[in-house]
Chain A
Amino acid sequence: MTAPSAKQGIAVEQAVVYGLLTALGLITLVIALGYGLFLEDFRIGPGLVPAVVGGLTALVAGWELIATLRGQRTPHDKGLAEIVAAAADAPPGGASTEDDLPGGSLPSGEQAGAGADDDGLDIFGRTAAMRGRQLVIVFVALTLAVVLVPLIGFLVSFFFLSFFISAVVERRSWIASAIVSFAVVAAIYVVFVLFLHVPLPTGLIGIGG
């Protein structure tokens, strides 16, 4: 379902993530050694658990890193559930005529989305690259909204966030986006401020305290 470029992209991301985890494990191990592994008479000290866990993390992540760098796909060995389900499975049927069935993820996933293929277009005709850009835009907007909270307050900042995502990123109608965003913020004000008495930051302009 994915073109070589997409696979390579994933492999690069995998290598980076495993590399970071290896580094994290090693750093943890080194720092933990400083906390002291054992107390008097070999009782467990504050450093032992982080050191062992950090060391193991570095080991497993390092192993995966090497496997990824050598171009080996991670072998998907199955757990008991899949094995039993597979063993009880009927032999696969004939030729496939419809490939549009959304698939379910394995139990590891919280859910399975019926999303578009990595390279395919989604229902709005957006390519994977466009969706990748969208993701970055949404994340930057999200971070910006959080940064702006001390300045313009929680509710104002998140009204703009919601409006920006609906109207600009998702290209919904401006009026509908404004109404939905206002409704969201109003509902949050009612629930959190009026009902739960959460002192949301109001920022310098002091809206919604």
Chain B
Amino acid sequence: MLDNLVLGFSTALSTENLLWCFVGVLIGTVVGVLPGLGSTTGVAVLLPLTLSLDPVTGLIMLAGIYYGSQYGGTITSVLISTPGEASSVVTTLDGYQMARQGRAGAALAISAIGSFVAAIISLGLLVALAPPFAKFALDFGPPEMLAVMVLGLATIISFAGDNRKLGLLMALVGLLVATVGVEPGSGTSRFTFGSIYLLGGIPFVEVMIGLFAVGEVLYQIREGAAAPIKAGFRELMISKADLKRSTGPILRGSFLGFLFGILPGAGSTLASFMAYGIEKRVSKRGHEFGTGAIEGVAAPESANNAAANANFVPTLTLGIPGGATTAVLLGAFMINGIQPGPLLFDEQPVLVWGLLASFFIGNVILLVLNLPLAPVFAQILRVPYGYMYPLILVTSLVGAYSISNSMFSVWIVLIFGIIGYFMKRLDLPMAPLVLGLVLGPLFEKALVQTSAIGDGNIGIVFTRPLALVVISLAIIQIVAPSIMARLLRRRNTSRTRKTEEIPAADERAKESTHG
């Protein structure tokens, strides 16, 4: 283990890797700050740029964008109550209230510190747990992998959106898109309609760029320009009392975030919501939540960072991405000819440990950058969107072209740009589609192999204890929310005569502001 870490740090500390790690976290912070650009978009748009780099270096930079954006997303949540990242939505509740009370500096500082502590704790856990887990996963046969993928899809369907039927529909569409191209088992070409371009399937990085970058820009045009921001800035200092109050929430948020992050399909948004909810329950100051309690910033911000790191456990050890951004990162591995999975730790020690060590370094850079410079990053928001979105559009298209040096990629981006626009407009969740698309081929392969093992009987999944447990978890995931909602509603109606509807996050933000 120690050897591995030494190997990792010696890789990550090379001048080139250090430089690109810095570039990655810097871009990540900027991407996180900009509403309309999420970490998924950032990684997808910049992935083509890294293809000329060494795989380790490229992945270090892309991962830097991912966790860097977790820091950046907080800045706008606190200052203008507009989360730059979905995982920072819950931070708007207390963070923005703190800013209105002139304590923006303290809120930003505690989220940077909380994020950093969470990153270090979760990285420690990641480093300790991933290798034994990879060893354990070596025994996974196709039935177990099949079960894990079902769990991943079930998780993302039940958590990613606010309507599970639409989540299921989008996951199905993702799986459907994934069936285009040559079927690996029999070599049959499916849904190619005679096009040679479609033989290799619909390239998924281009799909992501279309959905997340072009679709998002089109949606923003339709939504109209955002109100200008006035990011006044005073009182950068955070008091000792604040730090003391935040210790518990940060630690709880970190461990909770890690737990949720390991689940394939869950991801950091869920973790931040859960951490906020649970912290509100256990904290002595639970009643102050929503009015600018520092605990309400510390807990979710720690959790989303811990979850972002924990997401790498299923991604690296099983090759099953935890969320949309790790799905794109998985694509980056594959484009570089590296297949994440149980064997990765043995086959690519330099890459894996270099990458993990770079997380430590990247988080130190982020802490140093974010403590004093958060208000400076917020100035990026002053660039008029009228200049910004042509830039995003052009970069997306050129980036897509450079993946395969073909206009086919550009057309795919355009087509999925329209699809992405309508998905946003109609509130169709994107994460299930992305996961369906990424898992599609793996899912089918595992299914075919399972049926081969069982001589045509997929029922053998239920005869393998581990697979059975995982499948049961998946079923619980799908069924539990309805049951829990019913129970809670019954309790709520008996307690108050208040509306039965569970308020959405934006309404909560409003209500808590006025409460």
Q: Which residues of A line the B interface, CB within 8 A?
A: 10, 13-14, 17, 21, 24-25, 28, 31-32, 35-36, 38-39, 41-46, 49-50, 53-54, 56-57, 60-61, 63-64, 74-116, 120-124, 126, 128, 131-132, 134-135, 138-139, 142-143, 146, 149-150, 154, 158, 161-162, 165-166, 169-172, 177, 180-181, 184-185, 188, 191-192, 195-201
Chain A nearest Cβ from B201, distance in angstroms:
13
Chain A min CB distance to B400 (Å) = 10
What 3 A-B pairs have minimum CB-CB distances, sorted nearest first?
A: A93-B515, A103-B506, A122-B224
Q: Which residue of A lies closest to B268 (CB)?
A: A107
Q: How far is the CA of A138 from the CA of B392 in the complex (A)?
A: 13
B81 CB-CB contact with A under 8 Å: yes
The residues of B with any CB-CB pair to A shorter than 8 Å are 35-38, 40-41, 49, 51-52, 77, 80-86, 89-90, 92, 158-169, 172-173, 175-176, 179, 183, 185-186, 188, 190-191, 212, 214, 216, 218-228, 269-270, 273-274, 276-278, 280-281, 286-287, 289-290, 324, 384, 386-387, 389-391, 393-395, 397-398, 401-402, 405, 407, 410-411, 414, 417-418, 421-422, 424-431, 443-444, 447-448, 451-452, 455-458, 477, 480-482, 484-485, 488, 496, 498, 502-515
List of B residues within 8 angstroms of A106 by Cβ: 89, 161-162, 504-505
**Least Cβ distance of B148 to chain A in Å?**
17
A162: chain B residues at CB < 8 Å are: 390-391, 393-394
Assuming the A-B contacts A114-B227, A199-B405, are A76 and B515 also in contact, with contact meaning beta carbons closer than 8 angstroms in the complex?
A: no
- Taking CB as reference atom, which chain A residue is nearest B185? A46
State which of B49, B159, B162, B190 has its C-beta within 8 Å of the C-beta of A196.
Answer: B49
**A90-B190 in contact (CB<8A):** no
Q: Beyond the given A41-B455, A114-B80, could you list 12 further A-B residue pairs with CB under 8 A, ordered by the A residue number?
A: A13-B425, A24-B176, A83-B488, A93-B514, A101-B513, A103-B505, A106-B504, A107-B89, A112-B89, A131-B222, A169-B386, A171-B386
A18 to chain B, nearest CB (A): 8
Q: Which B-chain residue is minimally distant from A123 (CB atoms)? A: B225
Contact of A142 among B414, B456, B477 (CB under 8 A): B414
Q: How far is the CA of A60 from the CA of B430 in the complex (A)?
A: 17
16 examples of A-B residue contacts, CB within 8 angstroms:
A13-B425, A25-B172, A28-B176, A44-B185, A60-B165, A84-B274, A88-B277, A91-B498, A105-B86, A107-B159, A110-B212, A124-B224, A135-B421, A138-B218, A150-B407, A166-B387
Chain A residues positioned under 8 Å from B159 (CB to CB): 79-81, 107
CA distance A200 to B401 in the complex (A): 8
Query: How near does chain B come to A39, taking the closest CB pair, in angstroms?
Result: 7
Select which of B163, B401, B443, B508 is within 8 A of A89 by beta carbon: B508
Residues of A with C-beta under 8 A to B506? 103-105, 112
Partner of B502, one of A45, A82, A124, A180: A82
Chain A nearest Cβ from B118, distance in angstroms: 18
Contact partners of B185 in chain A: CB under 8 A: 44, 46
CB distance from B245 to the nearest CB of A (A): 18
Pair A74/B166 contact, Cβ less than 8 Å: yes
Contact partner of A191 (CB less than 8 A), chosen from B49, B226, B502, B512, is B49
Do B503 and A79 touch (CB < 8 A)? no
Measured between beta carbons, the chain B residues less than 8 angstroms from A81 are 159, 269-270, 273-274, 277
Task: Name the residue among B179, B218, B281, B389 with the largest chain A CB count within 10 angstroms.
Answer: B179
A113 and B86: CB pair below 8 A? no
> How far apart are A96's CB and chain B's nearest CB, in angstroms?
5
Q: B239 to chain A: closest CB distance in Å?
A: 25
Q: How far is the CA of A90 from the CA of B92 in the complex (A)?
A: 16
A31-B191, A95-B514, A102-B227 known; A80-B173 Cβ under 8 A: no
The chain B residue sitting closest to A132, CB to CB, is: B222
The one of B225, B395, B421, B448 in contact with A124, judged by C-beta atoms closer than 8 angstroms, is B225
Assess A110 versus B38: contact at CB under 8 Å? Given A50-B179, A139-B218, A143-B414: yes
Among the listed A43, A77, A92, A112, which residue makes an inter-chain contact with B485, where contact means beta carbons less than 8 Å apart? A77
Partner of A43 from B161, B414, B448 at Cβ < 8 Å: B448
Please, which residue of chain B has its CB at the minimum distance from the CB of A11? Answer: B426
Given the complex of chains A and B, what is the CA–CA distance between A138 and B214 in angstroms?
A: 11
Contact of A92 among B393, B429, B455, B511 (CB under 8 A): B511
**A44–B162 touching, CB < 8 Å:** no
Check A146–B480 contact: CB distance below 8 A.
Answer: no
Could you say which residues of chain A place their CB within 8 Å of the CB of B273? 81-82, 84-85, 107
User: What residues of chain B lie closer than 8 Å to A108, measured between beta carbons?
Assistant: 86, 160-162, 167, 427, 429-431
CB <8 Å contact, A90 and B512: yes
Chain A nearest CB from B229 CB (Å) reads: 9
* Residues B390 and A105 in contact, CB atoms below 8 Å apart: no
What residues of chain A lie closer than 8 Å to B480, measured between beta carbons? 80
Inter-chain contact B418/A146, CB cutoff 8 Å? no
Q: Which chain A residues border B429 with CB–CB below 8 Å?
A: 108
Give bound CA distance, A175 to B105, whole Å: 38
Docked-complex contact B448 and A44, CB < 8 angstroms: yes
Assembled-state Cα–Cα distance A87/B402 (Å) = 48
* Cβ–Cβ contact B82 & A41, under 8 A: no
A83 touches B384 (CB 8 A): no
Residues of chain B within 8 A (CB-CB) of A171 are 386
Which residue of A has the minimal Cβ distance to B286? A88
A111, A131, A185 — most chain B CB neighbours (10 Å) = A111
B411 → A minimal CB distance (Å): 7
Q: Is the CB of B430 within 8 A of A92?
A: no
B431 cross-chain contacts in A, Cβ below 8 A: 108
Q: Check if B507 sits within 8 Å of A103, measured CB to CB.
A: yes
**A87 touches which one: B49, B488, B512 (CB < 8 A)?**
B488
